[in-house]
Amino acid sequence: MQSVPPYTDEGAHLTGTDVFRLDGRVAVVTGASSGLGVAFAQALARAGADVALGARRLDRLEQTRNLVAAAGRRAVAVETDVTEPEACAAFVEATVDELGRVDVLVNNAGIGTAVPALRETPEEFRRVIDINLNGSYWMAQAAGRAMGPGSSIINVSSILGLRSAGLPQAAYSASKAGLQGLTRDLAQQWTGRRGIRVNAIAPGWFPSEMTDELGGDYLAHQLKSIPAGRLGDVRELAATVVFLAGPGAGYITGVTLPVDGGFTIG
């Protein structure tokens, strides 16, 4: 089997904090107009990457672009609907045109719903799958065609792809479990053959637009099941993304990493 060194031959001499640096790299982040996507983009920029920002709400990407610029990195904002394969391809093409390359993809775009299964319409179910699962595949496919050896794809799954949390979330849970299967298969196809690592993170309970909609009582109840005894800090999640994107994770591929304070232990 062909040997593919992490980050070409750069990983061989990296030491100390260098293994967490992304200098000279270009990262693509979907769903970058709010919430976790903003935190991911900012953290990647602080680690040294230029960042391409994609979302359906182009006007809200300006704030994220300013955060990337404040970290001293270049940014490009592209209006992108990940449910459209052509839009995903255009996003990657614009990234290469403006920033020169694609080394990291963070598949963060997603929506959540809580609808009882007997009342969920076909349209509601399909919309969640189309954005959360299909959209991640179209973006991975487009980015994978542009990526070279040493690149990294990080899919944002969820603990709800691993276990239930008491809400009627068939569509959401199915999409996130499917994303974990997609992660394994793409890693199997691309790591040895193309040198592209593919991993997923499974966030637990973090403050976000999605968790805000659940209400304080629900989150307070979930705290009882978190060994860490608290909600996560988005900076902790963003640090995990930076780690998986960089040379320090050069021998990690095909895994789903829970970042949940121990929630999935129970």
Q: How crowded is residue 103: how many other Cβ atoms within 10 Å of its Cβ?
A: 24
Residues 34-71 as b/e (b if ≥16 CB within 10 A, e otherwise) read bbbbbbbbbbbbbbbbbbbbbbbeeeebeebbebbeeb
- Name residue, tokens 């997603």: 110
Residue with the two structure tokens 């598949």: 107
**Dihedral in degrees, nearest 10, Cα atoms 101, 67, 30, 154:** 70
Angle between helices 170-194 and 135-146 (to 10 degrees): 10
Please check whether residue 109 is in contact with residue 29, taking contact to mean a CB–CB distance below 8 angstroms. Answer: no
Please list the active-site residues.
172
- Interacting residues of 23 by C-beta distance below 8 A, sequence separation 6+: 48, 49
Element spanning 38, H or E: helix 35-46
CA–CA–CA angle 59, 30, 10 (5° rounding): 125
Residues 6+ apart with CB under 8 A from 47: 20, 21, 22, 242, 245, 246
Beta-carbon contacts of 132 under 8 Å, excluding residues fewer than 6 positions away, are: 109, 110, 111, 172, 175, 176, 179
